[in-house]
Amino acid sequence: MNRRLSKKIKVGSIFIGGDAPISIQSMTNTKTSDIESTVKQILELEAVGCEVVRVTVNDMAAAEAIKTIKSRINIPLVADIHFDYRLALKAIENDIDKLRINPGNIGSIDRIEAVVKAAKEKSIPIRIGVNSGSLDKDIQAFFGVSAEGLYQSAMKHIKILESLEFYDIIISIKASNIEMTLEAFQMLANEVDYPFHIGITEAGTAFRGTIKSSIGLGALLLQGIGDTLRVSITADPVEEIPVAKEILNTLGLRNFGIKFVSCPTCGRTETEMIKIAEAVEDAVKDINKNLTVAIMGCAVNGPGEAREADLGVACGVKSGLIFSKGEILKKVDESEIVATLVEMIKAY
């Protein structure tokens, strides 16, 4: 797929947009002013692969906490601010890496100018975040909650920043309706080259949220849309990261480990195929190789169906045929399938 060519913007120690890898974000659910809990959660997110983290800055205590939080974490920190320009100024003073704020919502032009000037002085980018649940009243009255409404709202905020000669902009458009999100992003992609932060908001609890996010983010990414993403699910934020990684890995947009192909099993299966597949996946989950491994239930369809796989097994009667790119290499006993494949994956 062709990725939309966007402007490359520096966010702390990383880049978003251009040829930078599509980065994975999350957001803490602690009280930001509770520094210990917030840092603990950010470090947990870092440990599973989160690359940018956002905290809510909803009061001055949260804005004050930014300095200490930043000194104890290793990934860029984003302040999520609504309406209060003083919180934005304090976050900038405390060296936040990015602001998420909608300039049209922070009051008079003097206030907008103050925030933009301070952000520009420290090269802090601003993410405009348009959300279907909080569209500007005038825009909603005219366009309703629609792709056009989301697009117009984003353009309104972009124009405010551009009028102040501020161009380090990242844009997100979020709706829980996938089609509407996609359409709004497509409209925006025709107009601007700022990087896009994508996500399907209010996607739901872990199971439904994972499916909805995968469909939504997958649809956007397949259109080349998305420079950074967040999977939003109603769960511990740490659970969002593996979902995000797997979406990017599956689409071949990032390499987060081995890709697996395995058949659903059927009446032809003569081994404990499900256990074998789970055991192999588990044994190599920390190996980051650009490799596709197939685990198939029988020799009738196995090697042929999984011809693209770099390595694989076609299980037989209490045995397995180990194959590579469709070619059979050897036959092993069922009890040796897992160890043989794991060894071959490590040596590959």
Q: How far apart are CA 38 and CA 36, in angstroms?
A: 6
| Nearer residue to ligand SF4 within complex by CB, 274 or 283 | 274
Which residues are within 8 A (CB) of 326 and not within 5 positions of it... i.e. 6 or more apart? 303, 304, 306, 307
Say whether 116 sits in a helix, a strand or coil.
helix
Q: Which stretch binds ligand SF4 (CB under 6 A): 32-40, 101-109, 113-121, 262-270?
A: 262-270
109 binds ligand SF4 per the rule CB under 6 A = no
As measured in angstroms, the least distance from the Cβ of 296 to ligand SF4 is 4
What Å distances lie between residue 132 and 15, 61, 191, CA to CA? 27, 29, 20
264 binds ligand SF4 per the rule CB under 6 A = yes
Q: Which stretch binds ligand SF4 (CB under 6 A): 55-63, 274-282, 291-299, 327-335?
A: 291-299
Q: Which of 103, 226, 302, 316 binds ligand SF4 (CB under 6 A)?
A: 302
269 binds ligand SF4 per the rule CB under 6 A = yes
294 binds ligand SF4 per the rule CB under 6 A = no
Residue the block writes with tokens 């989301």: 150
Nearest to 133 by CA among 176, 171, 101: 176
> Are residues 119 and 92 in contact, defined by beta-carbon separation less than 8 angstroms?
yes
266 binds ligand SF4 per the rule CB under 6 A = yes
Q: Which of 298, 309, 313, 344 binds ligand SF4 (CB under 6 A)?
A: 298
| Nearer residue to ligand SF4 within complex by CB, 263 or 338 | 263
47 binds ligand SF4 per the rule CB under 6 A = no
313 binds ligand SF4 per the rule CB under 6 A = no
- Reported as half-sphere exposure (CB side, CA atoms, 13 A), residue 343 has a value of 6
Provide the 10 A C-beta neighbour count for residue 241.
Answer: 23
Contact positions vs ligand SF4 (CB under 6 A):
263-266, 268-269, 296-298, 300-302
